[in-house]
């Protein structure tokens, strides 16, 4: 059997197992073990435990559970509500201020937890009911939370960027730096769309009111807050700002490694929730550590089996042959990048970000580098593609989170709400391609 046939068979078996509903780690592991048994010497099976241990014996992997602890500690408290309330009171005069406050809340929470579903659930649980109560359409309320939640894997600390850095042997610190400006810029575009949409809804509602038909169109309700009411929420917001500032300063000031900074973040988050939210009882701490253990074990299992999966691909020369074939295809660098983005978009509709990064990156990255693209820059482009996958059906994880928060909202309304944000993110990928300095400015500035 030739390498092409073997590669197609390997991919086909893996996809069948993934789409069967089997957990990702078991699907990757079962496929890899099957091909090791039939197509590789028995010695490789005997050395399986040593191979996996060697791949996982990486101190940088410690950042994953530590950042998850940080996110879990924040997520188990009223932190999301306080972030949301503080942002709303300070921006209440802006059209669509409540929607913008939700985007800002997602941005800050993303910088604290690094998880898109957690960001989506934490902010959406409070934000969606409040927006619906104040005249926002179901589509806009759910769409902006689903899209805002995706910022969790772009704004550092990001578990996705950590995994990409590990698999490509790129600096995690530089990847985190590279994600700051794109993350904030994408959040700005989300907020700008919300302002535009709210302004349009208010105008249409006023026209309907002037025509004597006030029930024809609903629009966001505008509320006002005094300076006293705005300042009284700042003490709740200040600890989060301090925690983010400490993490950023320690990480980019060269004080410690990513693993050490993750430890600072985890300790700071636990201290914060204990002091501010009185979350120091055993049942509270147990819930944080139990949730962390479950999510960390899941991610570590996926990483271990993905390492095994790529090891088999490399041993059978599937990765090398695929890279050689991609390099030999007559197309421009931009055509290559276009088709890579199409591939990532399609895979994102069916597979979670971690699986895509671990399975696909070893194949496409050699072509990316050969065409002169910066691997740090591509890590951000890849992450934005993964964000798209979180809000595209049929397996958009954030869509399921939104449905869980608001089960009475119809699926078609949720899908209608995310469509504008899908186009914004596609345009954003094109913007990053035309102006790569958006991504590379901070890594080059700090690294120089």
Q: What pLDDT, in 10s, does the model give residues 28-73? A: 889 888 988 888 888 877 778 877 777 777 777 787 788 788 777 8
Name the one residue in this structure whose structure tokens are 């490789």.
44
Entry pTM: 0.77
Instruction: Provide the pLDDT confidence category of residue 222 given band limits of 50, 70 and 90.
Output: low
Average per-residue pLDDT for the chain: 81
**Mean pLDDT for the stretch of residues 367-378:** 90
> In Å, what is the CA distance from 84 to each residue of 98, 105, 123, 409?
9, 5, 7, 22
CA dist., res. 48 & res. 304, Å (int): 11
Q: Is the peptide bond before 394 cis (omega within 30 degrees of 0)?
A: yes
Q: What pLDDT, in 10s, does the model give residues 181-210? A: 999 999 999 999 998 888 887 777 777 666
CA-based nearest residue to 64, from 158, 168, 174: 158
Question: Residue 209: its pLDDT value, please?
Answer: 65
Assess whether pLDDT exceeds 80 at residue 381.
Answer: yes
Instruction: Provide the pLDDT confidence category of residue 163 given band limits of 50, 70 and 90.
Output: confident
DSSP state of 232: T
Q: What pLDDT, in 10s, does the model give residues 109-121? A: 777 766 777 778 7
Phi/psi of residue 47, each to 5°? Answer: -95, 15
Instruction: Provide the pLDDT confidence category of residue 376 given band limits of 50, 70 and 90.
Output: very high
Instruction: Give the ranges where 211-257 is alpha helix by DSSP (H).
Output: 227-231, 234-252
Question: Residue 392: its pLDDT value, please?
Answer: 85
Q: What element of type H or E holds 181?
A: helix 172-210
- Lowest average pLDDT, out of 132-141, 315-324, 386-395, goes to 315-324
């Amino acid at each position: 059997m030739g390498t092409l046939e073997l590669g197609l068979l390997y991919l086909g078996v893996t996809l069948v197992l993934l789409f069967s509903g089997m957990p990702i780690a078991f699907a990757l592991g079962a496929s890899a073990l099957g091909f090791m048994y039939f197509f590789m010497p028995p010695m490789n099976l005997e050395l399986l435990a040593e191979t996996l241990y060697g791949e996982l014996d990486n101190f940088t992997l410690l950042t994953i559970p530590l950042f998850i602890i940080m996110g879990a500690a924040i997520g188990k408290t009223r932190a999301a509500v306080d972030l949301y309330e503080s942002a709303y009171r300070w921006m209440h005069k802006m059209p669509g201020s409540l929607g913008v406050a939700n985007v800002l809340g997602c941005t800050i929470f993303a910088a604290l937890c690094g998880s898109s579903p957690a960001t989506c659930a934490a902010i959406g649980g409070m934000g969606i009911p409040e927006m619906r109560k104040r005249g926002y359409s179901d589509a806009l309320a759910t769409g902006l939370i689903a899209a805002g939640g995706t910022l969790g894997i772009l704004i550092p600390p990001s578990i996705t960027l950590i995994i990409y850095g590990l698999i490509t042997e790129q600096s995690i610190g530089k990847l985190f730096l590279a994600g700051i400006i794109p993350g904030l810029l994408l959040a700005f575009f989300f907020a700008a769309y919300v302002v535009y949409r709210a302004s349009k809804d208010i105008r249409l509602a006023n026209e309907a009111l002037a025509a004597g038909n006030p029930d024809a169109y609903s629009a966001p309700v505008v509320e006002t807050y005094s300076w006293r009411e705005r300042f009284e929420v700042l003490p709740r917001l200040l600890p989060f700002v301090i925690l983010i500032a400490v993490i950023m300063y320690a990480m980019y000031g060269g004080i410690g490694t990513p693993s050490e900074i993750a430890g600072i973040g985890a300790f700071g988050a636990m201290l914060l929730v204990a002091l501010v939210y009185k979350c120091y009882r055993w049942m509270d701490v147990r819930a944080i550590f139990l949730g962390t253990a479950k999510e960390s074990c899941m991610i570590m299992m996926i990483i271990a089996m993905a390492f095994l999966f790529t090891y088999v691909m490399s041993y059978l020369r599937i990765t090398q042959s695929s890279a050689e074939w991609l390099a030999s295809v007559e197309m421009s660098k931009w055509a290559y990048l276009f088709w890579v983005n199409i591939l990532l978009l399609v895979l994102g509709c069916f597979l979670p970000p971690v699986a895509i990064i671990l399975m696909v990156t070893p194949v496409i990255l050699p072509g990316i580098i050969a065409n002169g693209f910066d691997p740090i820059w591509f890590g951000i482009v890849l992450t934005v593609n993964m964000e798209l996958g979180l809000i595209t059906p049929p397996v958009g994880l954030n869509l399921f989170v939104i449905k869980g928060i608001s089960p009475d909202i119809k699926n078609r309304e949720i899908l209608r709400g995310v469509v504008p944000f899908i186009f914004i993110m596609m345009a954003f990928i094109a913007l990053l391609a035309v102006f790569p300095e958006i991504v590379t400015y901070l890594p080059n500035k700090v690294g120089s």
